[in-house]
Homo-oligomer: A and B are copies of this chain.
Amino acid sequence: MAKRGSYAKGVAKREEILTRALEVIAREGFRGASVREIADAVGLSQAGLLHYFGSKEQLFVEILRKRDEIDAGRFEPGDMELAEMREGYLRVIRHNSEVPGVVELFSRLAVEASDATHPAHEYFLQRSALIRQLFTETVRKAQEDGRMSDRVDAEILARLFQAASDGMQLQWLLDPDVDMAATVDALFQLLAPVPVQADAAG
């Protein structure tokens, strides 16, 4: 038996805390929230919360992992075609524009975790690589079938998509009127195969 009752219960509680923390950050924003504030919000003392996560940074990483887990459900399961990838990605981005606090937490941590000794460094490296891998595969297939421009290598395009969405988050945090999803979608449009036009020569 790998799990005794109490252990399983501890895990369940952890999950519950993360879900509630995510809700609270989504609803009330982040603004550099302290462990104390999150503890209040989820109905624990600061020490009580840290009992589960050890440190502030570990708590934040786990919150972001929980978010990823939920976002994964916004994609179609299974092997991805370009159209589904586009739909799923835009769905996630549209959802993000409902939860500025989560976007802020993500962006902050992304910068801080650039230090190789930061507890979130591995998380960002792996997440980043995974997303690019999914994009690269989907884009490459689409390029082979002529459903996407092949002027630029698939791996570079994957990086550009990721950069566009991360960068749009910064623009949107600064000015919430910006339409993140529409702007990222413009990049998809740019990559649609060139329609054959009678006057293509100008």
Contacts and interface: CB of A to CB of B under 8 A. Distances in A.
A55 interface: no
State the oligomeric state as a number of copies.
2
A156 B186 CA distance: 8
B174 A167 contact: no
A32 B191 CA distance: 38
A99 interface: no
Interface string A166-202: 1110110111001000110011011101101000111
Interface of A: 31-32, 104, 107-108, 110-115, 121, 124-125, 128, 146, 149, 151-153, 156-157, 159-160, 162-168, 170-171, 173-175, 178, 182-183, 186-187, 189-191, 193-194, 196, 200-202
26 contacts: A31-B115, A32-B112, A110-B170, A114-B173, A114-B174, A121-B174, A125-B175, A128-B171, A151-B189, A152-B186, A152-B189, A156-B182, A157-B186, A159-B168, A163-B163, A163-B167, A163-B170, A163-B171, A164-B164, A166-B166, A166-B170, A166-B171, A167-B167, A190-B190, A194-B200, A200-B200
